[in-house]
Structure 1
């Protein structure tokens, strides 16, 4: 991920713990000590899939037959005061009639509306930039920080990050002293927002939490820092500058993290190809 404004490197994933997941054969105990059952007939996974499809079909029919409720779930601020934790319940993304932003500054979405929805969208997009592999290049990092941070916060953060992204840090992450990947390796550092929540909002200031998953590591034959997944939450403090939302400060913490699934890990070549072939998104609510 990225080095937060507290000077730490995410949650330490770049240190490479060397931990290995062992997949037990059928008949041995799983993570919780329960014996795995031998497969016969329709597997439990297939049964769950069939039940899930039936449930989704019933839900879809019910939704199609339901009349409009008239509730507004846009999450847009009214400008009448601060929204507090009474709005902390999850609200799914819903059509709001507000068109997504089309402007970009340095490749990062910009021009967010002065609403709670706009603040959440800004926070999600800024987290993606701050948690990207381009942060490991000094010039690109300076451009990102200048774009997503409030003018009053740029200089201090630039200095702190320049000190943190040091040759010693790059070495610990398996990179060359200039922050680039060794020959034959692909450096992967991508942050993917899963959801956002405004914990405080007024027309001039907002605090938004962004729950994310992410990828970090070196993809390549013989890599000692293989690409791993992580879960973390960013807390973004934003301010309205008169034309856009900008970041005053941000911090990150681990989790919430789900139990890992049973999907087998892909090879280094496949991971590198996926990172190069699949682009990111502009996030909006």
Structure 2
């Protein structure tokens, strides 16, 4: 059964925590099974890492990306196994778009796990540590953020890269240019502009070399048409052609995440309920800021999943 009013959204980097999904693993056999499948694909024990490792270990991009993908897929499998209705749309924030593609049947989970590990490694390698930065800008219109970046570039790269909600934009680029843009945003009236604890300038032109190296690896994997349409970060539209989806996933690495537009596009299709499938509730919070008519749930714990099952069965 499908609900035409329901969408699933999948979080990106930043939602990882040591000990996450511990409660879900006790109640949902899909969680340990999915982590076991990922561990086999990766060649190390991913569950042990996220339960017993150090936060610094899971914050390494090449570890973070397969970890969050696995957590999201595990929870979606738990949802399906308990009779949860199928969504009409899916979307994922940055890395989360890979989770959406797996859950919509575009590519096999082990292929995705290996690909996102490589995606993380290449993105981290693209810019030496310390040379890139990201910052969150709160309380400034998109156009003003873009103008601040343009005046702050001075021959370097700095750009708006995550349009997360109205008045919440993330910028990224060369460290010095980001520092200049932070001051320019404050001068333009931003309530806050602060560096983020991220070591690479994701979704900027500085990531293009990583995208070019990942492209042949993406091309080598079988992609299928999605069973549930996925709204893509690059243009906030759906795509059914597997070759076009591959190209979008390459472009996504160095293109802005148009998350506000993605949520608005789903709302325009009649979606009024979002379920955030993965650790944390960042996307659920953003959804309410983007469109107050949207009801959002997150399903990280057994109690939350049960509550969402009941809410969407009514």
TM-score category by the smaller chain? under 0.3
Larger radius of gyration: 1
TM-score normalised to structure 1 length: 0.23
Give TM-score, length-normalised by structure 2: 0.22
More strand by share: 1
Specify which structure has the higher proportion of helix: 2
